[in-house]
């Protein structure tokens, strides 16, 4: 995973412009959540601030991996239009915060495709103390 972190850093022009990394695949069980969580940890251990977003709105697992509360999360932020800061939680790993999925929405595809998710990512990227963002789909 550290080799992947280094390859991303140098492959993306030193990581200066790339602040968001999506981990996805076409099939369930391919290891997306495992890769995303371990990559986020490796980045945080390299003194990078990281926000890991669990955008798997069908079978979320990041809250289980990091043993955090999932009563609020991405789904509730997108559906309620509430402040994202209220749903972000510390992971227990220094410099790594988690935005869990939250309650499973009835319309996961619509929540991710209606433009609010893109607006949320832009808001997170424009924060003064912005972090690298790793997204698990």
Number of helices and strands (H, E) in the chain?
Answer: 6, 5
pLDDT for res 39: 93
CA-to-CA distance for 55 and 116, rounded, in angstroms?
Answer: 13
Q: Is the pLDDT of residue 50 over 70?
A: yes
Contacts of 62 (CB under 8 A, 6+ apart): 33, 36, 37, 52, 54, 56, 98, 100, 101, 136
* Residues 72-85: tens digit of each pLDDT: 999 999 998 889 99
Is pLDDT above 60 for 15?
no
- How many whole angstroms separate alpha carbon 30 and alpha carbon 20? 21
Residue 97, C-beta contacts closer than 8 angstroms, at least 6 positions apart: 50, 51, 52, 88, 89, 90, 91, 131
Angle at 129 between CA 45 and CA 42, to 5 degrees: 15
pLDDT, residue 131, reads 75
Is the pLDDT assigned to residue 110 strictly greater than 90? no
Does the pTM surpass 0.85? The reply is: yes
Q: Is 67 left (phi over 0), alpha (psi -120 to 50) or beta?
A: left
């Amino acid at each position: 995973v550290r080799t992947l972190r280094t390859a991303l850093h140098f492959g993306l022009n030193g990581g200066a412009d790339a602040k968001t990394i999506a981990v996805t695949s076409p099939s369930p069980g391919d290891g997306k959540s495992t890769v995303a969580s371990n990559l986020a940890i490796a980045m945080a251990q390299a003194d990078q601030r990281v926000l890991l977003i669990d955008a798997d709105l069908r079978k979320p697992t990041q809250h289980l991996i990091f043993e955090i509360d999932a009563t609020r999360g991405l789904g509730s932020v997108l559906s309620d239009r509430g402040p994202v800061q209220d749903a972000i939680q510390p992971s227990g790993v220094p410099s790594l915060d988690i935005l869990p999925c939250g309650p499973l929405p009835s319309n996961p595809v619509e929540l991710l495709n209606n433009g609010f998710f893109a607006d949320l990512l832009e808001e997170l990227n424009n924060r003064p103390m912005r972090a690298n963002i790793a997204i698990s789909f």
